[in-house]
Amino acid sequence: MGFILYDLFFKARSQGHTYGIETRPELVQSSRELAARLGFTRMSFLNLSVAQSTHAEQLPAQIDVVTALHACDTATDDAIAFGLAKQATYMVLAPCCQAEVARVLSQHKALSLARTPLAELWRHPLHTRELGSQLTNVLRCLYLEARGYQVTVTELVGWEHSLKNELIIARHTGQPKHSAAERLRAILAEFGLSSLLSSRFQL
């Protein structure tokens, strides 16, 4: 994706820089080699996790656009935290493989079934996984709204394995929605997910 963006927006311009973050060193090296072959001189690839890159000296203090394609499980949350720390104007996120919330729902399933009939929504393992994924992205959208972003959610299409992936597009407006923060807290409490509030969502 970084190469496509560079080719479309930066190749013909004298300004702008694209940074790629990747934990696999072989991909970092091959990306550097490809950028050199293409003459894409304003591309840098860093062998870091997203969490590490938030404080990395190799990156500027502000990043205009943050993209995360198929950022598995909590890597999408790391990308959101990175975007917030770097005061990103736009974030374009395609989450996948969300498992964290499903694990928490599974831990308290018996108690939830006794407490509310709504727990039938995640009684079966397949539904636990699907509801966990849905809840995860809903919470992410509310969090972004609470932090001053306007959020649009659509489908990511065009790749063979992406037909059912959500695409979250967030534009910074500087106008936090307090109602979004309240609803986020309410959903976390309703589904027994409040332990995630302090570690994942900094309100």
CB neighbour list of residue 201: distance below 8 Å, 6 or more residues apart: 139, 143, 184, 188
- 5 within some domain: yes
Same domain, 118 and 167: yes
For 153-177, how does the pLDDT look when each residue is reduced to its tens digit (9 = 90+)?
998 776 555 456 789 999 999 999 9
- 52 within some domain: no
Same domain, 81 and 124: yes
For 119-131, how does the pLDDT look when each residue is reduced to its tens digit (9 = 90+)?
899 899 999 999 9
- 53 within some domain: no
Same domain, 141 and 196: yes
For 46-94, how does the pLDDT look when each residue is reduced to its tens digit (9 = 90+)?
999 988 999 999 999 999 999 998 888 888 999 999 999 999 999 999 9
Same domain, 85 and 120: yes
Count up the domains in the chain and report the number.
2
Distance from C-alpha of 177 to C-alpha of 143, rounded to nearest angstrom: 9
Same domain, 43 and 132: no
Range of the domain at 124: 60-200
- 179 within some domain: yes
- pTM, two decimal places: 0.90
Same domain, 84 and 136: yes
